[in-house]
Structure 1
Amino acid sequence: MERAPTSLPRPASPSHPFPKPADTFRDEEVTMELPPREVQITLVGGGSHNWAPKLLADLAYTKSLAGRLVLMDINPRALDLMTRLGQKVMRDLGGNFQVEGTTDLDAALVGADYVILTINTGGYEASRQDIEIPEKYGVVQTVGDTVGPGGLIRGIRNIPVVVDLAQRMERLCPRAWLINYSNPMAILTHAVSVATDIKVVGLCHELQGLERTLMYILGLGERGRIKFKVGGINHFSWVLDAWLDGESIFPRLHEHAKTVRPADIAYEDFSPYGDQTVVKFSLLQTTGVLGVAGDRHIVEFYSYFVTPESQWGWKYGVKRTTPDDFEEAYRENGEWARAMLEGRAELPSRSEEIVFDLIASIEHDLNREFFVNLPNVGQIANLPLDRVVETYAVANAKGLTPVALGELPPSVAPQVRLHSDIQEMIVEATLTGDKDLARQAFLLDPLIRDFEAGRAMFEEMCEAQGLFRR
């Protein structure tokens, strides 16, 4: 099995054979009998109604880990709710962790072995501006958290906070891993990797979602049977091939692609979080590779899916997520958390998130493979070194070692490279305070289709969020 080493003087040779496709998902039979390893895990953004409940339950189900879980959040009310819920989850599900909460970041970091990040600087007001200001200039986004004007501005405002966190880790827990779940994933993970010496990895659940979709298409009842050759950048990764019982499923997927149409459903009845897969299968027919992320993410990387002519994506079965949708989800998740705490709702079953399986693989030296975001040391040969890319990596006692993918095909590589270049510019601009460079990156984004409107939009968004003020 060929693996990219921890550093390479040049990208891996395209002649390297791709390693045997991996099972990225948990194998509970491997870990359930292991004696628990003692660790301290700190969850920054621990009051998150969206993330904390499922991560608390996942940790309780991970019997191969034990120790101390510290929830840290700047919102005392949300923190108190999730701390009490976490204590109940551990008690009722038989978890091995003592749960405590604090609003003191430094106190939360002292002694940490793993720091998990689930934050959005500025909260829902900033996210609302990410969506609503571009709409004034004719730019509609379906999500606005990764690319497009919203994703880039979100990156600029979050980088200083995330880098400050990593710098505190250098003082207080220098050997800890920072595990990032926050968007824009590639931008924030890259900023930490170039600005600090902290070990950092980004995690996303889109591949698990794709596996679920393919299981439905193929009539499969269990996870782990489909093996993927896959890589790219977060929310813009591509399956180059996939196998079921050693046989490529791509011929079957190409046949399926011919039948995919938007569902006959009223716009108001469709959830913006749903995925009709029209875009990914249309692109499969054109590019020969299958997008990993949900269509709502993929469309934002191109200029031609979210347009007035496409009814802002609805032609392709994509419904944009509004700021009200974000806030409604937050309220509903908060009510769900309170209902669980009061015994009015059942505690969560295990989710698709892989974070604690990854930690267990490191702690127990299991050599399991996971789909993760790491700096490119050659695992994708035709993307620049040091950029954060999304591929498999092996997790063991030595840490995380990327698995060599080879090259992305020419049907998608130039577009991936464009967005990787923009991300690099945004990170450099933010770390150096170079507003001109940030503006240049902003105007390169494919969703910006009018030069003057793009410049005015950039200025208004920066002013609204207090960015690049001297």
Structure 2
Amino acid sequence: MFTIAFVGAGSVEFTRQLLRDILSFPELAGCTISLHDIDSERLEVAEQLARLAGASNVRGSLERREALEGADVVVNMVAIGGHRATLTDFDVPESFGLRQTIGDTLGIGGIFRGLRTFPFLDGLAADVLAVCPGAWLLNYTNPMAMNIQYLATVAPRLKVAGLCHSVHWTIHDLSALVGVPHEEVDFLSAGVNHQAWILRWQHEGRDLYPALDAAIAADPELARRVRVDMYRRLGYYPTETSEHSSEYVPWYLRHQSEVERLRIPVRDYATISAENVATYEKTRDALAAGDPPPPLTDDAVEYAPQVIHSLVTGQRRTIQVNVANDGLITNLPAGAAVEVPATLDRLGVHPHHVGLLPRQLAAVNRSFLNVVDLTVAAAVEGDPAHVRHAALCDPATAAALTAGQIDDLVAAMTAAHGDLLPVALRSA
């Protein structure tokens, strides 16, 4: 019996979405769903939702290693520190005058989200290697690039793929914009998570970039978005939303005029995080009252169900994955986490060699990866100085604050997150 373990199953909305897609495949209808969360209430809600979704074999455990027993796939979607830590990631930097939009991937928020996630990843990797060493670990938890590079460093025997739907939805939305069915489009995307690039984009052999140029020229409001601005300057369209993209480079959030021109929603994820809590509470209360849970509002097409289906059936398909750079993108650092196409089949996940990125794209990605590398090094080496180095090298942070202010901000964030951080990094 194929077993899928969900770690962080109390993220009930996302768990429901994944279960809906997994159980839509007839070949997966009888699989065992093993759920783990450290919050007993959330775990109970997740178990109820799994049964309502049609899962026939459901088990739940507050003990992670017990939940992982016999797993063929482990899906990680934890958020260490929850909503409270997310607010800290916004509130403390804001008191220094530093703007963020999402704060979960790069920037000071991403750095500290990574640092508080790494101790959890240590334990998860050890448990997987102990009780289900052949399992694939499918990671959804951000900061994706930091987490994948960290796992590749501390647990190189682990079979890991990081999954994110940003490339799918970029192609979907761009294709709709130019009037072409996205399922008929051929494309190549590569780079790093949340900052990959559409290198080729065609319909029946026709380059679609000229059609995008025409659409932008016809609607001036389209130009009032960060990633359209980046596309026009760099020549290739980025694969993550403008909200995310704005905080990975030094050009936008520092300037009020750019925030207004490009309609950048400062603190956007703080609002989203609060809405996620409200959605969970509404779902919990509906189940307690014997009512159906609120309908799913997100039609997200996630990759994990496709990976699982291919592992079970051998069906070959291509998706985007985040893996350590083993010669896949030759002008990005070896060992860094990169996002590339991969073929799926019964044997697993097989990343594709991409080669050289255009120089300007690789240059922007390297600025991103410098922060990732220093954050991972801080944890692996137990060196608090590297936390400051990561913040000093972060493009948006360095654009907004002086070096002294960055040192003070790191100290304030370290104090605020306290025991969530690795022991060696609890003093700045």
Normalised TM-score (structure 1): 0.84
User: Which AA in structure 1 matches 2:40?
Assistant: P
Say if 2:106 and 2:371, in contact at 8 Å, map to a contact too: no
Q: Which one of 359, 372, 375 corresponds to residue 324 of structure 2?
A: 375
User: Which AA in structure 1 matches 2:153?
Assistant: V
Say if 2:100 and 2:253, in contact at 8 Å, map to a contact too: yes
Q: In the TM superposition, what are the counterparts of 1:247-326 in structure 2 within 5 Å?
A: 247-262=206-221, 278-310=225-257, 313-320=259-266, 321=268, 323-326=270-273
2:170 equivalent in structure 1: 210
CA distance in 2, matches of 1:149, 1:163: 22
Bigger Cα displacement from structure 2, 174-183 vs 355-364: 355-364
Q: Which one of 395, 416, 439 corresponds to residue 344 of structure 2?
A: 395
Say if 1:160 and 1:431, in contact at 8 Å, map to a contact too: no
Say if 2:323 and 2:338, in contact at 8 Å, map to a contact too: yes
1:15 equivalent in structure 2: none
Q: Which one of 388, 402, 405 corresponds to residue 453 of structure 1?
A: 405
1:81 equivalent in structure 2: 45
How far the C-alpha of 1:363 sits from its partner, in A, is 2.5
CA distance in 2, matches of 1:277, 1:233: 24
User: Which AA in structure 2 matches 1:102?
Assistant: S
Q: Which one of 206, 219, 223 corresponds to residue 179 of structure 2?
A: 219
CA distance in 1, matches of 2:8, 2:172: 28
Q: What CA deviation, in whole Å up to 9, does each residue of 1:349-396 have, x standing for no partner?
A: 863112111121122222311111011122211111221100101112
2:333 equivalent in structure 1: 384
How far the C-alpha of 1:81 sits from its partner, in A, is 1.0
Say if 1:262 and 1:317, in contact at 8 Å, map to a contact too: no
Secondary structure in structure 2 of the residue aligned to 1:454: helix
Q: In the TM superposition, what are the counterparts of 1:75-224 in structure 2 within 5 Å?
A: 75-90=39-54, 95=55, 97-196=56-155, 197-220=157-180, 222-224=181-183
CA distance in 2, matches of 1:114, 1:228: 28
Say if 1:162 and 1:192, in contact at 8 Å, map to a contact too: yes
User: Which AA in structure 1 matches 2:46?
Assistant: M
1:266 equivalent in structure 2: none
Say if 2:254 and 2:396, in contact at 8 Å, map to a contact too: no
CA distance in 1, matches of 2:364, 2:126: 33
Work out which structure has the larger RCO, using CA pairs closer than 8 Å and 6 or more positions apart in sequence: 1
Give the aligned CA root-mean-square deviation in angstroms.
2.0
1:68 equivalent in structure 2: 32
After superposition, the Cα gap between the structure-2 partners of 1:322 and 1:251, relative to the gap in structure 1 and judged at 3 Å, is closer
CA distance in 1, matches of 2:14, 2:294: 17
Q: Give the number of aligned pairs.
A: 414
Say if 2:249 and 2:396, in contact at 8 Å, map to a contact too: yes
How far the C-alpha of 1:260 sits from its partner, in A, is 4.6
User: Which AA in structure 2 matches 1:83?
Assistant: E
Bigger Cα displacement from structure 2, 357-366 vs 241-250: 357-366
1:409 equivalent in structure 2: 358
2:374 equivalent in structure 1: 425
1:41 equivalent in structure 2: 4
CA distance in 2, matches of 1:167, 1:50: 27
Mark the runs of 5 or more structure 2 residues left unpaired by the alignment. Answer: none
Q: What CA deviation, in whole Å up to 9, does each residue of 1:3-59 have, x standing for no partner?
A: xxxxxxxxxxxxxxxxxxxxxxxxxxxxxxxxxxx3110000101134112112112
Q: What CA deviation, in whole Å up to 9, does each residue of 1:239-276 have, x standing for no partner?
A: 1120012211011112223345448xxxxxxxxxxxx9
Secondary structure in structure 2 of the residue aligned to 1:124: helix
Say if 1:230 and 1:238, in contact at 8 Å, map to a contact too: yes
After superposition, the Cα gap between the structure-2 partners of 1:207 and 1:290, relative to the gap in structure 1 and judged at 3 Å, is same
User: Which AA in structure 1 matches 2:426?
Assistant: R
1:8 equivalent in structure 2: none
User: Which AA in structure 1 matches 2:44?
Assistant: D
How far the C-alpha of 1:398 sits from its partner, in A, is 2.6
CA distance in 1, matches of 2:195, 2:332: 13
CA distance in 2, matches of 1:329, 1:316: 26
Bigger Cα displacement from structure 2, 277-286 vs 43-52: 277-286
Say if 1:72 and 1:102, in contact at 8 Å, map to a contact too: yes
CA distance in 2, matches of 1:305, 1:98: 49
Say if 1:377 and 1:386, in contact at 8 Å, map to a contact too: yes
CA distance in 1, matches of 2:4, 2:293: 28
After superposition, the Cα gap between the structure-2 partners of 1:318 and 1:50, relative to the gap in structure 1 and judged at 3 Å, is farther
How far the C-alpha of 1:125 sits from its partner, in A, is 1.1
Secondary structure in structure 2 of the residue aligned to 1:100: strand
Normalised TM-score (structure 2): 0.91
Percent pairwise identity:
28
Say if 1:53 and 1:337, in contact at 8 Å, map to a contact too: no
- Asked if 1:361 corresponds to 2:310, the answer is yes
Say if 1:81 and 1:338, in contact at 8 Å, map to a contact too: no
After superposition, the Cα gap between the structure-2 partners of 1:287 and 1:349, relative to the gap in structure 1 and judged at 3 Å, is closer
Say if 2:319 and 2:341, in contact at 8 Å, map to a contact too: yes
User: Which AA in structure 2 matches 1:84?
Assistant: Q
1:437 equivalent in structure 2: 386
Q: What CA deviation, in whole Å up to 9, does each residue of 1:122-170 have, x standing for no partner?
A: 1111111111111111111010000010011110110111121011111
CA distance in 1, matches of 2:283, 2:173: 26
How far the C-alpha of 1:113 sits from its partner, in A, is 0.8
User: Which AA in structure 2 matches 1:106?
Assistant: R
